[in-house]
Amino acid sequence: MILRTRHLTDIADLVREAGRREILPRFRNLEAGSVRTKSGPLDLVTEADEAAERSIVAGLRARFPGCAVVGEEAATADPSLLQTLAGADLAFVVDPVDGTANFAAGLALFGVMVAAIVRGEVVASVIHDPIGDDTAFALRGEGAWIETATASRRDLRIAPPAPVAEMAGNVAWRMLPEAQRAIVCSNLPKVAASWDYRCAAHEYRMVADGHCHFLFFNRLYPWDHAPGWLLHREAGGYSAQFDGRGYDPTRIDGGLICAPDRDSWQALRDALLT
């Protein structure tokens, strides 16, 4: 299936409605027992995640009959769902609340993400901010842009290349293996500034809009990265895994560095990983 801008608008309507009905009413209003841990104390799920995922998945299946849908919470319960991404004629990955730890803490830094994948290739993405009620879009080969609730639109463009010592960006070092984590953390003073917002949705929107130079991730679940990877690419950026391979939404390891261009990627890799 070839996705068009009108399809992205349909997807954005779904995630916006889920935000209004399922996420925002629960923000800073979670009941006791509605927050649980998954793989560890920093990996949370709330009733908002589950309710929003049900809403978005049902909407996608109604609008795109026969599609495969892999939601974060469903795939956590059944990891075999990830195997459907490589061969499906049309699949969607859904992160119903990206930045759940922030959401659960009452911090207004979370988003809703959906990416469309056709036979293993990311072709479209939507990243919605329920608080600001605006949405970032990417369509493969047609660019990246952001739209407000009033349909005002502007194109997204990455920051220009700069020396490593002048680049700032997000470094999610907490998921690295211990030995590699020690190397990366000791190298952080080589860049101008680094942070970790615990929210890939906003981190990818920032880098695609030129507000920082780079992103550095280790764990690559597709609902966390397929939407933002395409947004960054269509905004003019370059990315690759730590070993130089291109991003593949069917792989969940190997790390990812997003940078302004190929030379910047190599410079950042050398500076942070060696």
For position 16, what pLDDT does the model report?
A: 97
For position 31, what pLDDT does the model report?
A: 85
For position 37, what pLDDT does the model report?
A: 82
For position 212, what pLDDT does the model report?
A: 98
Buried b vs exposed e over 227-261: b needs ≥16 C-beta within 10 Å? bbbbbbbbbbbbbbbbeeeebbbeeeeebbbbbbe
238-240 and 256-259 beta bridge pairing: antiparallel
DSSP secondary structure letter of residue 24: G
Distances (CA, A) of 78 to 29, 42, 70, 263: 29, 20, 10, 39
Question: Taking 90 as the threshold, does the pLDDT of residue 42 lie above it?
Answer: no
Question: Taking 90 as the threshold, does the pLDDT of residue 41 lie above it?
Answer: no
Question: How does pLDDT run across 227-262, given as a tens digit for each residue?
Answer: 999 999 999 999 999 999 999 999 999 999 999 999
The CA-based diameter of the chain, rounded to the nearest angstrom, is 50
Question: Taking 80 as the threshold, does the pLDDT of residue 38 lie above it?
Answer: no
The CATH architecture assigned to 5-155 reads: 2-Layer Sandwich (3.30)
Lowest mean pLDDT among 40-44, 141-145, 186-190: 40-44
Rounded CA separation 15/43 (Å): 22
User: Which class is domain 164-273?
Assistant: alpha beta
Domain edges within the chain: 5-155, 164-273
Q: Classify residue 80 as exposed, middle or buried by CB count within 10 Å of its CB (0-12, 13-18, 19+).
A: exposed
Q: What are phi and psi of 53, to 5 degrees?
A: -60, -45
Rounded CA separation 260/252 (Å): 23
For position 34, what pLDDT does the model report?
A: 84
For position 59, what pLDDT does the model report?
A: 98
